[in-house]
């Protein structure tokens, strides 16, 4: 499906409950594959969260609580009631989030997604870039060959005796 810039898509809203003093791992599936996506999460209580890669999510799920806190600190997270950003869905149409609710109450979380509309698919950009690189390379080889041919001609002309030298011999 090709997305036209004049097309509009409605936002996708998802609601979650974050249990008190616990970790929540969210894997959003069934989104459009390889699509630039803007997201915003809003919570009724201050929580810690961030968008992560699938590998980061899997790593955190396999860690002890102390390792998980350390890793989360290393990745950097946002602490507050809302955050937003832009990411690209993976080849399965997924986006991943990790949240920690430090509160003694459950927190309600709403995540909203909007696709960034574009006329140009990523493979088209790659194809056009490849063609320009190929043409640039061919142009460089052609110019180098012309310069080399001119240098050889100049060397041959220098080696030929001048008209005065030919007359004297």
| Structural domain of 156 | 122-168
Shared-domain flag, residues 84 and 106: yes
In a domain, 3, yes or no: no
The pTM assigned to this predicted structure is 0.64
- pLDDT tens digit at each of 169 positions of the chain: 333 333 446 899 999 999 999 999 999 988 888 888 999 999 999 999 999 999 999 999 999 999 999 999 999 999 999 999 999 899 888 999 999 999 999 999 999 999 887 666 777 888 999 999 999 999 999 999 999 999 998 888 777 777 777 777 6
In a domain, 60, yes or no: yes
Three-state secondary structure readout of the chain: CCCCCCCCCCCEEEEEEECCCEEEEEEECCCCCCCEEEEEEEEEEEEEEEEECHHHHHHHHCCCHHHHHHHHHHHCCEEEEEEEEEEECCCCCCEEEEEEECCCCCEEEEEEEEECCCCCCHHHHHHHHHHHHHHHHHHHHHHHHHHHHHHHHHHHHHHCCCHHHHHHC
């Amino acid at each position: 499906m090709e997305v036209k810039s004049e097309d509009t898509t409605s936002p996708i809203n998802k609601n979650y409950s974050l249990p008190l003093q616990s970790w929540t791992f969210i894997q959003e599936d069934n989104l459009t594959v390889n699509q630039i996506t803007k997201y915003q999460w809003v919570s009724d209580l201050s929580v810690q969260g961030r968008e992560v890669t699938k590998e980061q999510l899997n790593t955190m799920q396999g860690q002890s609580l102390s390792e998980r806190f350390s890793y989360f600190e290393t990745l950097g997270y946002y602490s507050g009631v809302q955050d937003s950003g832009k990411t690209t869905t993976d080849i399965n149409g997924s986006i991943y989030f990790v949240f920690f609710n430090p509160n003694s109450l459950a927190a309600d979380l709403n995540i909203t997604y909007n696709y960034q509309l574009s006329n140009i698919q990523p493979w088209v950009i790659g194809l056009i870039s490849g063609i320009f690189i190929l043409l640039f390379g061919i142009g460089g080889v052609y110019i180098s060959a012309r310069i080399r041919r001119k240098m050889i001609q100049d060397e041959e002309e220098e080696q030929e005796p001048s008209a005065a030298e030919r007359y004297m011999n």
